[in-house]
Amino acid sequence: MTPHGETASPVVLYVCADRAPCPPGGATQRAQTEGHAFAQERGLTIAEVVTDTYGEPDPAQRRGWRRVRQLAQTGHVTAVLVRWPSAIAPESARELRHREAAWLRDQGVRVRYTWAPLSSKGVEAR
C-alpha cells in the first residue's frame, strides 16, 4: 500500500551490470539497492528482480530480458526499472535500446531509470 492507501504499481527491476554471472558483484548489488530505494520512494512494488550478465548487446538474446518482455506482455508490470540506458543495450547498439523501449511502450509499460542523475530529471527511455 502507498501512503495514500492505494495499491502500489507492480514493476520489474532489471539488472544487467556484472560481467560474471555468480556471485553478484558490487555493480549488481548497487543497482539492486538503488532500484529498491527508487521503488520505495515512489510507492512502487517490485514484482520481480531479473538479472542478466553484462556483455551481450542485443537484449532479445538475454534470458533475463526475455523474462522482462514476458512480464510486460502479460500485463504483470507497469514499468521496468533499470539503472541506466546501457543496461538495456550499450551505446554501440543504441538502436536496440530504442527498439526495446518502443516495444515496451506499445505494451503500456514505461522504462524508468533509477540512477539519481537520470531519475531526478524524470528521464524515460525513448
Please tell me the predicted confidence (pLDDT) of residue 117.
78
Query: Mean pLDDT lowest for which of 52-56, 77-81, 117-121?
Result: 117-121
Closest CA to 72 of 41, 7, 64, 43: 64
Is residue 125, in this structure, part of any structural domain at all?
no
Is residue 1, in this structure, part of any structural domain at all?
no
Its domain, for residue 32, covers 9-119
Report DSSP state, residue 6. P
Q: What total of structural domains would you count in the chain?
A: 1
Prediction pTM value = 0.85
How far is 51 from 112, CA to CA, in rounded Å?
16
The tens digit of pLDDT for each residue in 65-110 reads 999 999 999 999 999 999 989 999 999 999 999 999 999 999 999 9
Is residue 96, in this structure, part of any structural domain at all?
yes
Rg, Å, the chain Cα set:
14
Is residue 40, in this structure, part of any structural domain at all?
yes
Is residue 19, in this structure, part of any structural domain at all?
yes
Give the residue, 2 or 43, on which the prediction is more confident: 43
Is residue 3, in this structure, part of any structural domain at all?
no
Q: Say which CATH number the domain at 20 has.
A: 3.40.50.1390
Is residue 124, in this structure, part of any structural domain at all?
no
Q: pLDDT band at residue 125, thresholds of 50, 70 and 90?
A: low
Is residue 2, in this structure, part of any structural domain at all?
no
pLDDT of residue 30 exceeding 60, the answer is yes
Average pLDDT, the chain: 87
Q: What is the rounded average pLDDT of the residues 13-20? A: 84
pLDDT of residue 3 exceeding 70, the answer is no
